[in-house]
Chain A
Amino acid sequence: MSAARVLKNGGRAAALPVALIVLAQVAATVTQLESDSLASPADIAMAFVSVMGDGTLLKATADTLKAAAAGCLLGVGAGSLLGIVLGLFRIADDALDLTIELLRPVPVVALIPVVMMLLGFGAEMEIVIIALGMLWPSVVLARAAVKEVEPRLMEVSNVLQLGFAARVWKIVLPAILPQLFMSLKLAAGYALVVAVTVEITANPLGLGYGIMMAQQALRPAEMFAYLIWIGAVGWLISVLLNAAQRTFFPAFVNGEGR
């Protein structure tokens, strides 16, 4: 793509958000906005600078991201492991399929009261809920990936008489690595969502709690600053993971997304 073209596309992409921000600022200035629920873009920017300056925003971001990362790794790790086992052993798959199908549709937020009761508030409870939320999707993806490993490769490992460990380590894992990364990528975005949800609903911690408190204290500028920041963090994570996927598994990206 030529530079002019990039510029043109970028300009078109930016037109709408810029127009909205300008419009909001003009409307706020003209109406001399004083509100418990709305704030002008300029006030939001100022509130952002202030929460960023005193470190609360960064602390909250770190708390949320730590919980999301830990829960994500735990859930995807355990889920993928179970998924690989189910993919390799049909008998285990047949035996557990019905149970998993029954457990999977339970919305993860329904587990908040349970885990809260068992563990109280804090990072630990949040991590457990996130991990539980990542578990089933990871199981399903890993299981499907193992089942789709080229049968020829399995035949090769039979002919070579590889042991179970060698088969998993040398054939199955490398073959499903792109799908495992894909699974991790999907989970990372979802983990942030669950983390914020848990914090808004119950846990006095992190970005979700921050935005909730800003609302309760009737500081709309701060609330929107948090909202935009949460959106930016989510967006950044997805951009980074997409870039990583393109770098490490270029062949796998084709046909996905736009």
Chain B
Amino acid sequence: MIALIAETLTGLFTPPFRRKEFFQQLYFVGNKSLVIVVFCVCFAAVVTILESSFHMKMVIQNDSMVPGFAALLILRELGAIVSALLLSSRVGAGYASEVGSMQITEQIDALKMLGIDPVNYLVVPRFLACVLGGMMITIVANMACIFSAMAVSQLYLGYTPSMFLTSMQRFVDFKDLIFAMIKGACFGGVIPLVACYFGFRCQQGAEGVGRATTNTVVVSSIAIIVIDFILSYTFSYLY
């Protein structure tokens, strides 16, 4: 695993740079996952704001702080982690089954025969595309989240959008957005590394592909949660 990470990182700076592959992967990560991620994140945001209003009412008897709190929770935590988990199942599982089937049909050995380094050809473009795509998807997901939270607070809790934004402004800094981007990039980087690691080690047969895909989803989800915890803990000293 560590060897793969090291090889990928050195591959980032050694030519040949495969620009076409990179843009194809970026299209796959960015455009094709965007609809699903935004759709899911909107639902998650709706639930979050209703729940936080419920809790606020219980503790301090009014929910005037709800928009600010919910926006903060969305930006710092929810937007990044839910979209990363969705990406890990969509992109990660896709990569693992793709690379896994390449491995068992001996296409990777064929690449080696042709003198092409499989890490440079397969992993590096995916890694770059996921880092960049994860960052951008996190931003778009955060925006969608806040819009849907705004709509729900208008409909159910009776806050107009302007009240929402005013209350948000008190709590949210520009820093939060930057940290969300960093989180998105880190989560994005984990996914292809785990997926390609399990894809390269895929066993023969139909069972092997299934197992590689399963392992990818599990390991990348856990890695995302652990990294999220580490990053949250680190960032909490920087606010």
A, B: real partners: no
